Amino acid sequence: MPEFRQNLATKEWVVFATERARRPEDFTRSRPQVKALPALDPACPFCPGHEDATPPAILTLPTGAAAWDVRVIPNKFPALVPAKDPSCVACASQVGPYLQRAGNGSHEVVIDAPYHNCDLPLLPLEKVEEVLDAYYLRFNALSRDPCTELVLIFRNHGPRAGTSILHPHSQIVASAVVPFRVRNRIYEGQRYFDSYGECVYCAMLAYEQADGTRVILENEHFLAFCPFAASTPYEVWLVPKHHRATFGSVDEDELHDLAHQLRGLLSRLWRLLDDPDYNYVIDTAPQHLAAVPFYHWHLRMLPRLTTPAGFEIGSGIGINVVLPEDAAAALRGACGDAVTPEEAGLP
């Protein structure tokens, strides 16, 4: 029988229709085969040697090295742009009954690796750490801007996830407004804290760690698990064990452990689901709530294996055909070591 489950942190409902259940290989049958990418693409603006095809770098890692491993640049086609007059960022104007305001903020691209065909699951652990170091440095730099309310870090991998350039990259957007979905997570987190005196994410973390059914990976600082009300097949959360409201407050040891779990998770997804399209996003509190006890930053991984249809769009209730307990068991059984060039079909 189908089953409703509720996301404790957002109060959103998901339907689990297990009579439609699929095995991991069923998600890959309709996907077209992708040709192996070259190490360097003469048409790619993100490849080394093409630095003049992009705006000048904001940050390169390693700092001061002749060759870069990670390069952060302004997005050439930004969703948001810096304010010409910072004093006007919070101003809104009225058009009849409607409100409008300038699309102010910042939009950056993190080029995750110099090689066109070297995605995160193929990178050595220390190189994944450099990507996270870039996230951390830019998050805190953008957060210091008085016009910034929220810094959002995300990665789109594959056409179903909205990627337009194949070269491995992530994006960082700093916004002058806090959008509804983020406000709703904060509101529900505060309601839970007011009712029970603890962070809802800490409560879920403790339960999932003790139960173990949906846990995939665990190390000193992080727990990776499929959430009880996963909105999509093989959705995974990476949640820090130490309560912090924002990503910008992590320490070096936590970044190391996050890199280990992130690469391990992506390697498992790569092997189990044949390099699926996915989005991941770092959910974090806005700057004015950086020290609150009721929000807990985390990374959400969403493989793009199904397409929302009329019921989901009309009701706002997702339909998931894979129980998170089954997804977690399959991911635990997959190899989490770095993907080898031979496995990826690289020359």
Do you know the residue count of the chain?
A: 347
Query: What are the residue ranges of helices labelled H in the chain?
Result: 125-143, 180-196, 200-211, 252-273, 310-315, 324-333
Handedness of CA 178, 180, 181, 184 (dihedral sign): positive
**CB neighbour class for 324 (10 Å; exposed up to 12, middle 13-18, buried from 19):** buried
Q: Is 169 a catalytic residue?
A: yes
Among candidate residues 116, 167, 169, 256, the one labeled active-site is 169
Distance CA 117, CA 168 (A): 8
251 Cβ neighbours under 8 A, 6+ residues apart? none
Q: Which of 226, 204, 201, 200 is nearest to 213 (CA)?
A: 226
Distance CA 235, CA 108 (A): 26
Q: Which of 152, 234, 243, 256 is nearest to 205 (CA)?
A: 243
Active site residues per annotation: 169
